[in-house]
Structure 1
Amino acid sequence: MSGQAINATTPSISTRRAAWTVVGLCLLFNVIDGLDAMAMAFTASRVAAQWSLSAAQIGLLLSASLVGMTCGSLGAAPLANRHGRRRVLLASLMLSGVTMVLCFWSQGYCTLLCLRLLTGIGVGAVLVGANVLTHDHAPPTRRSLAIALQSVAFALGATLGGVLAHQLNDSLGWRYVFLTGGSLTLLVGAVGALWLRESASQLAAEQPGQGYCGLFSHGRWPSTCALAGVCFLLMFGFYFVMSWTPMLLTHSGFSARHGITGGMLLTVGGMFGALLLGLGANRWGCHRLLCMCLLFNAVLMLLMVTATRVPMLAIATGFTAGLLLYAAIAALFVLAPQAFDTPERTRGVGLVLATGRLGAIVSPTFAGVLLDAQWRPQDLFTVYAGSQLLAALLIWRSRRPTLEAG
């Protein structure tokens, strides 16, 4: 124990290298998570055409993995406290990989729906585990950047999913997107089993904490509720834009390839947004940057439908929307682990992300129902712009020292 304390105070070169190895592996896990989470969005139009699905049914397919992600986020904390964060993270990767591969053989709507639910459980647990392990291993001076880079990695994975869909949907079919993604997930899981290390706080047998009720104890509930509420509203808007943009572009007269390209533009912009947030977090503060991103994103959502009528403007708008959305998520991911003490960190981050997943669950299905009710795309974007404005107001009104640390 004394040796660990010395290393925590004056880390050696080998210790720093090992820490950055863990951060790098968590980046890789987020790449895979991004691919697995967004695979359905990039194949939805092909699945709908093959099985004659309604917009509401597609919305349920898009939401299924999000329901699983909620369960995975909430279940990660008690399992990690009992079995260790490393084991839970690796087991979750295996679950995602196996169920992605099984999607290749799905023979109907209900089977695919169940498999996407199970994939989401794995993805949700991986996101929590990777966020906490990155926070625990990254040097304090580089912690905000390291956590923000996790969002860059997620966006990169989503972009990779778009590339796979672009190449495989026409040549081999949508099933091969899931087969390829699942195979990559299993491969990355094997790499993690070889080199991923447990966090020092877990090895030190940290205190179990007070359960989820402890997150709402006196003096802590405002920041917990603020982070959870903002995450709900942010994910509500994020998954509408990310999940429905490809199909909405197709409904507006664009080809399926153009729809996928539009979705990829969002994720490419997202990579730049998360990176810029990480670089600017220490200078301007994540709280301030989060408010700005939410406000600008609300304005941009109001303009997206009009912008699609001009090709170059559509490209710029899609890129900027992705930049703002992912930057906001990166800011929230930086703030979340800092708001909780070590014994409660996994549980606190899991609760915040799980609440966000609730917004993500409601979002695609809500949009699908409104589309079936003949709502125009502009009306939808207006509603979702309001959610981002409300999130900005909530985080601004609940400004506290715990949130200012970012």
Structure 2
Amino acid sequence: MTERSTGRAALITFVCFAVSMIDGFDTLMLSFVAPLISQAIHADHASLGRVFGAGFIGTVIGSVAVGPAADRFGRKPMLIGALALTGLLTLACALATSAPQLALLRFIGGLGMGGAIPPVAAITAECTAPRHRTSSVILMFIGFPLGAVVGGAISAALMTRFGWPFVFLMGGACALAMLLPVAWLIPAQTKAAVHEGGGHVRIGAILAQGRSAPAFALWLGVLASMIVSGFLVSFIPTILNLNGVPVARAALGAVVLNVGAIAGALALSWIVRRREPFRPVAVSFAAAALLTSVLGLLIGVGDALFGMLFLAGACLVGAQLTFPAIASRLFPPAVRASGVGWTMAIGRLGSIIGPVIGGSLLQQHTALDRLFALAGLLALLAGGAVALAGLWSRHGGIAGDGERETGAPFAIAEGKH
């Protein structure tokens, strides 16, 4: 790559990182303000679980719909549409007066939130040298928990002063503000999209050429792990508040979890620069299984819980942040956004199941040690599934970074904004 194209690729990746960051904040902001919303609109745990679930259903549909559309019509227009929908509907959430109304708004806004990640993952992969593709997409997707960390810290500081609607206004405004840099700096197409992305992308094409077994194993791992993190991220602030932690401090529980995720993802990005990603990610999930089980024994015992939340976030959510990168590695350019979209959609399905079931179990006063032990078993299942995906991809001869896609990264279309 020339110095000019290298600099332009770095700028494009930074824009994708910023989109990922805002998407992370907008997706997870509800967990920060859930205790205040519960009091303001008189919603019980089960109702809150349905609100969480409605937003995640929207992200599932958005991921499945936008991924193939981005392969067919181009990454940029679909990303612009996803950001606009996210921003407008997040602003509207500030006006909600009931749980069903908030659930509807989060569902529609979720279409945009889920639709943003497949295009940015594909854009990042296609402007990066093949040997660095996996680690670059991981680093880009670190923006997702970083957005939750920064947004959560700001929310914890301001929501008791300005009220929970202010958090939605802030998130919606940030999403709309990203429209200008995306429209100006993201190229209209990459060569991969121009030459290979035409036509309607079917699931058969995504799973062709020996990809079905590793893809299904990967998707099982995504589903199991996201059930766990969907529950933790959504309900940790509420669980802490119920066990005597003040609202503002309880909101920091989700922040600490995501700070750990950033640390874990950074460590994994360094490791996968030197080896394939499947085994390190599987080991990380195995460690998360133990840590998550221990969490249930530490609720209400003081600050030790926050340290364990950090470690659990590093191993569990940090490993999850590799999934877009692994999908970008597994699926070739012609179906890359579709493959990432399906991967993220299945993960979002887990994010629906986690808070809905978790909210119901909390409503039934299930013992926390049992609840977190079950979460640990699911994390262990995720690790086993990822290990199988790696084994089957190697046996199937599926290329990793730089093996099938040799040479320079996909060229960036100059002058098309």
Same fold (TM over 0.5): yes
Report what 1:366 is aligned to. 357
Report what 2:5 is aligned to. 15
Residue 242 of structure 1: which of 230, 233, 255 is its match?
A: 233
Trace 1:169-188 onto structure 2 (pairs within 5 A): 169-188=159-178
Question: Is 2:97 the counterpart of 1:107?
Answer: yes
Question: Is 2:369 the counterpart of 1:378?
Answer: yes
TM-score by length of 2: 0.91
Please say if residues 287 and 404 of structure 1, whose CA atoms lie closer than 8 Å, have aligned partners that are also in contact.
Answer: no
1:161 is displaced (CA, Å) by: 2.1
Q: Distance in 1 between matches of 2:39 and 2:198?
A: 52
Question: One-letter code of the match for 2:360?
Answer: V
Question: Is 2:50 the counterpart of 1:55?
Answer: no
1:275 is displaced (CA, Å) by: 1.2
1:404 is displaced (CA, Å) by: 8.1
Residue 203 of structure 1: which of 191, 194, 198 is its match?
A: 194
In terms of fraction of residues, the more helix-rich structure is: 1
1:207 is displaced (CA, Å) by: 4.7
SS in 2 for 1:179: helix
Question: One-letter code of the match for 2:291?
Answer: L
Question: Is 2:119 the counterpart of 1:124?
Answer: no
1:263 is displaced (CA, Å) by: 1.2
Report what 2:242 is aligned to. 251
Q: Distance in 1 between matches of 2:57 and 2:334?
A: 26
SS in 2 for 1:182: helix
Please say if residues 80 and 183 of structure 2, whose CA atoms lie closer than 8 Å, have aligned partners that are also in contact.
Answer: yes
Question: Is 2:278 the counterpart of 1:296?
Answer: no
Please say if residues 94 and 186 of structure 1, whose CA atoms lie closer than 8 Å, have aligned partners that are also in contact.
Answer: yes
Name whichever of 206-215 and 224-233 sits farther off.
206-215
Is the alpha carbon distance of 1:403 and 1:48 closer, same or farther for their aligned partners in structure 2, counting shifts above 3 Å?
Answer: farther
Report what 1:8 is aligned to. none
Which protein, 1 or 2, shows the higher relative CO under an 8 Å CA cutoff with sep ≥ 6? Answer: 2
Residue 210 of structure 2: which of 219, 224, 228 is its match?
A: 219
SS in 1 for 2:273: helix
Trace 1:196-345 onto structure 2 (pairs within 5 A): 196-197=186-187, 198-204=189-195, 206-208=197-199, 211-217=202-208, 219-345=210-336
Is the alpha carbon distance of 1:326 and 1:404 closer, same or farther for their aligned partners in structure 2, counting shifts above 3 Å?
Answer: farther
1:199 is displaced (CA, Å) by: 2.5
State the Cα deviation string for residues 21-47 of structure 1 (Å, max 9, x = none).
111110000010011001101011111
Is the alpha carbon distance of 1:369 and 1:403 closer, same or farther for their aligned partners in structure 2, counting shifts above 3 Å?
Answer: farther
Q: Distance in 1 between matches of 2:309 and 2:71?
A: 41
SS in 1 for 2:142: helix
1:134 is displaced (CA, Å) by: 0.8
SS in 1 for 2:143: helix
1:143 is displaced (CA, Å) by: 1.9
Q: Distance in 1 between matches of 2:371 and 2:275?
A: 33
Structure 1: tracts of 5 or more residues without a match: 1-10
Report what 1:164 is aligned to. 154
1:309 is displaced (CA, Å) by: 4.2
State the Cα deviation string for residues 110-161 of structure 1 (Å, max 9, x = none).
2211111122111111011111111111122332221111232111100122
* Paired positions, count: 396
Trace 1:25-174 onto structure 2 (pairs within 5 A): 25-174=15-164
Q: Distance in 1 between matches of 2:126 and 2:144?
A: 19
State the Cα RMSD in Å. Answer: 1.7
State the Cα deviation string for residues 33-87 of structure 1 (Å, max 9, x = none).
0110011010111111111111110001111211011001100133223421111
SS in 2 for 1:375: coil
State the Cα deviation string for residues 343-385 of structure 1 (Å, max 9, x = none).
1211111111111111111110001111112212222111111
